[in-house]
Amino acid sequence: MALEIKNVSRTFEGSMKETLKDISLSVEQGEFICVVGPSGCGKSTLLNIIAGLDFPTDGEIFLDEKKITAPGADRVVMFQEHALFPWLNVMENVKFGMKMMGVPKEEQNRRAEHYLKMVQLWEFREYSVHEISGGMRQRTALARSLCLDGPVLLMDEPFSALDKQTTNKLRADLERIWEETGKTVIFVTHSVEEAVFLADRIVVLSDNPGCIKEIFQVGLPRPRRNDAVEFLEVRHNILSCVEREVEKFAKEEYDHEKMA
């Protein structure tokens, strides 16, 4: 499903600052987009608007030419916190969303088995949440999201609370799963390295207000090595862009304080 973001702006009530301003972006079906930028630049706000969990002050978003006005089964959200139910085991957690959507039991079992095997957790299906590691919990949450069968997967820094070794493994797993499923992924991250590893294109947001500063076409063959010269060049270019935005924001804050 193609996603079209048209001139989206967002200002929160009681705030003089625009969180997002005039965001426009076309996302092709099956594309992997990463969104990076300084802290507080509106990355998560943009993702929430696409999910239908928040609403733009101005502008519109369309999925397959249908305007987004609310959450929908065509868009599945995965947050930093896994939000698993501790009283349910791995299999029950994975099936929970499908039960709420009224998916027939036989189909629940089929999807749960398929995606638990895909995330390499089938042998752990009867384990409780307390018996598995943080990385396994995130893989359980990913399997639960995939089971909902939405063509668009929205991910808000899902690996940021994990150690580096676990994060590297999950990035590789996600890339493999994305290639197998053909889903459209929009992935918010604070890690430029993570974005270069995963994305087809990387959207850099500026701050104050949050708007698109630059869009980078990664253009590197997969699978990617983070020690390859080409990888490091792309990473350097994007880091430089992000760092310029951070420095600009810091200077604006300093100038504002001097005038106050």
- Is the pLDDT at 212 greater than 60? The verdict is yes
Query: Tokens 């080409």 appear where?
Result: 230
* 133 located within any domain: no
Contact 141, 166 (CB under 8 A): no
Convert the pLDDT of each residue in 142-160 to its tens digit. Answer: 999 999 999 999 999 998 8
Q: Is residue 193 part of a domain?
A: yes
pLDDT recorded at residue 252: 54
Q: Is the pLDDT of residue 260 over 70?
A: no
Domains: count for the chain: 1
Nearest to residue 92, comparing CAs of 66, 56, 116?
Answer: 116
| Mean pLDDT of the residues in the chain | 91
Does 163 score more than 80 pLDDT? yes
> For the chain, what percent of residues have pLDDT higher than 70?
95
Q: Above 80 in pLDDT, residue 110? A: yes
Question: What are the pLDDT digits (tens) for 164-191?
Answer: 998 998 899 999 999 999 999 999 999 9
Is 177 or 208 the better-scoring residue by pLDDT? Answer: 177
- The answer as to whether 196 is a domain residue is yes
In a domain, 226, yes or no: yes
Instruction: Tell me: pLDDT of 248 over 80.
Output: no
Per the domain annotation, does 100 fall within a domain? no
Token pair for 167: 């994060």
Is 112 domain-assigned?
Answer: no
Q: pLDDT grade, residue 87 (50/70/90)? A: very high
Q: Assess if residue 116 is contained within a domain.
A: no
pLDDT tens string 34-85? 999 988 899 999 999 999 999 999 999 999 999 999 999 999 999 877 789 9
Q: Span 192-213, mean pLDDT?
A: 94
Whether 154 is covered by a domain: the verdict is: yes
Which CATH number covers residue 205? 3.40.50.300
Predicted pLDDT at 59: 98
Task: Specify the pLDDT at position 157.
Answer: 93
Kindly indicate the confidence band of residue 207, based on its pLDDT and cuts at 50, 70 and 90.
confident
Contact residues for 27 (Cβ-Cβ < 8 A; gap 6+):
2, 3, 4, 5, 33, 184, 186
pLDDT digits (tens, 9 = 90+) for 96-105: 999 999 999 9
Domain that holds residue 233: 3-74+150-259
Q: Are the CB atoms for 149 and 143 separated by under 8 Å? A: no
214-235: average pLDDT: 96
